[in-house]
Amino acid sequence: MATHAETPEETRARKERGAHSPPHDPHRDDNIVDLIGQLTSQSAHLAQQQVNLVQAEVREAANDIKAGLGGLIGAAVLGISGLGVTLMGIAYLIGDAIGDRDLATLLVGLAVLLIAGIIYASAKSKMDASNLKPERTIDTAERTPEVARGDAHK
């Protein structure tokens, strides 16, 4: 089988397509080897896209964890500062109103702990393990065989 030398135009076109792409011969149909090569290349591209999707979902989950940690820290700061200064004054005012400062101090302290617990529970729910599951990647991976067969349905 004779091979023909590339013209400068064919060389430039091949370089634009990529160094590994053979020159296209318009008189030759793609054979099974070329088709398998294209399928392999597209499969590698799809795999890389899947990896990129997983990385994006992990980054998103990490951002959710950061937000949850920020909420936990905020709840701790609120709980400590609230128990320290302002609430003692409120306890004294309530104690004067009901005639029992000890009981008023206990009630105010319990109320503050309840509020801090609610903030803590809200922040903890953001850190739930279910938020770390890469849902979109799993869905795409499950649909990939269907797409390859041409059976994809939304």
Half-sphere exposure of 138 (CA within 13 A, CB side): 5
Most confident of 23-37, 65-79, 127-141: 65-79
Check pLDDT > 60 for residue 6: yes
3-state SS, 89-138, equals: HHHHHHHHHHCCHHHHHHHHHHHHHHHHHHHHHHHHHHCCHHHHCCHHHH
Separation between Cα atoms, residue 92 and residue 109, nearest integer Å: 12
Predicted local confidence at residue 151, as pLDDT: 63
Over the chain, what is the mean pLDDT?
A: 78
Phi and psi at 5, nearest 5°, equal -75, 145
Confidence class of residue 1 from pLDDT cuts 50, 70 and 90?
very low
Take residue 152 and report the two structure tokens written for it: 């994809």
Identity of the amino acid at 126 = K
Q: Phi, psi (5° rounding) for residue 96?
A: -65, -35
